[in-house]
Amino acid sequence: MSKFGWAYVDCTDVGSSGSGSAGPPASLQFVTQSGGGTTGSAYLTFYTASTYSYYPNTMVLSGNLIVTGTISASHYHIEDIAIIDATGSTYFGDSNDDEHIRTGSIVITPAGDPANYALSASVVDKRVSVRSLSGRYRQITADGTIASDDYIIGASASANQTIYLPSASACGEGAFLVIKDEYSNRGGTRIYISGSVPEGGFTIDGDNYYTLTGSMPAVNLYSDGTNWFVF
């Protein structure tokens, strides 16, 4: 036999502010400013089962939320964004197969100087404007193959030199290449730009080779996704 007596708890009363718990069903409780009791609101609720369009174990806030600390979430979804005001560095993605899609134009500016933009991309006229542009530069000192991510190639061998183009299909439509003879005393030697090997099957203005001769010549190339062309 228990040494404690019986106690009756009336569970039919939802309580009232200042005297106990109150509020509508599923509402989270908070302490009232007066009386020390707890109450709830339909604007802050928690559903343990599927309710309306909510998944189980979902908290719903209808109103504003101010966080002075850190928010950590495995999935973060924002709708109807008006303004995002952030300071410090931000990082997007964690693997090479991530894809970040933005709808609308974008402008990158220095702090406090929005007119002096570094990059502007407009979806209205489909144009990208940059303040200045740098591409990957690589020097090739002997026979060698241009990589698909190369842009400016400096050919610097003193003897005859063969430079193989990358796959036009791998580089894609609209890819650019700049090849410049950097050897100032070439004499009778020359630079062969080849689309034949080791990749194979690519032409330059319809030919397998393009030859640079003379005093420090250069050539600009673009790809149509299948072959290379001089421009």
Q: Is residue 12, in this structure, part of any structural domain at all? A: no
Q: Are residues 221 and 156 in the same domain?
A: yes
Identify the pLDDT of residue 19: 53
Q: Are residues 222 and 209 in the same domain?
A: yes
The domain of 159 spans: 137-230
Q: Is residue 76, in this structure, part of any structural domain at all? A: no
Q: What percent of the chain has pLDDT over 90?
A: 60
Q: Are residues 185 and 200 in the same domain?
A: yes
pLDDT at 200 over 70: no
Q: Are residues 145 and 127 in the same domain?
A: no
Identify the pLDDT of residue 11: 38
Q: Is residue 163, in this structure, part of any structural domain at all? A: yes
Range with the poorest average pLDDT among 135-149, 184-198, 206-220:
184-198
Q: Are residues 129 and 153 in the same domain?
A: no
Identify the pLDDT of residue 7: 42
Question: What's the mean per-residue pLDDT of the chain?
Answer: 86
Q: Kindly state the average pLDDT of the residues 188-203.
A: 83
Exposed e or buried b for every residue in 91-129, given b needs 16+ CB within 10 A?
A: eeeeeeeeeeeeeeeeeeeeeeeeeeeeeeeeeeeeeee
Q: Are residues 155 and 210 in the same domain?
A: yes
Identify the pLDDT of residue 201: 75
pLDDT band for position 2 (cuts 50, 70, 90): very low
Q: Are residues 151 and 119 in the same domain?
A: no
pLDDT at 145 over 60: yes
Measured CA to CA in angstroms, residue 72 lies from 45, 69, 76 at distances of 20, 10, 9
Q: Are residues 224 and 165 in the same domain?
A: yes
Longest dimension (CA), the chain: 114
Q: Is residue 145, in this structure, part of any structural domain at all? A: yes
Q: Kindly state the average pLDDT of the residues 190-207.
A: 85
pLDDT at 73 over 70: yes
Q: Are residues 150 and 108 in the same domain?
A: no
Q: Are residues 123 and 170 in the same domain?
A: no
Q: Is residue 86, in this structure, part of any structural domain at all? A: no
Among the candidates 133, 150, 173, a domain finishes at 133
Q: Is residue 80, in this structure, part of any structural domain at all? A: no
Identify the pLDDT of residue 17: 45
pLDDT at 10 over 70: no
Q: Kindly state the average pLDDT of the residues 52-57.
A: 89
List, in order, residues 6 or more apart from 64 with CB less than 8 Å away. none
Q: Is residue 30, in this structure, part of any structural domain at all? A: yes
Identify the pLDDT of residue 106: 94
Q: Are residues 168 and 213 in the same domain?
A: yes
Greater model confidence, 119 or 187: 119
Q: Is residue 84, in this structure, part of any structural domain at all? A: no
Which helix (H) or strand (E) element contains residue 170? helix 168-171
Count how many domains the chain has: 3
Q: Are residues 172 and 148 in the same domain?
A: yes
pLDDT at 191 over 90: yes
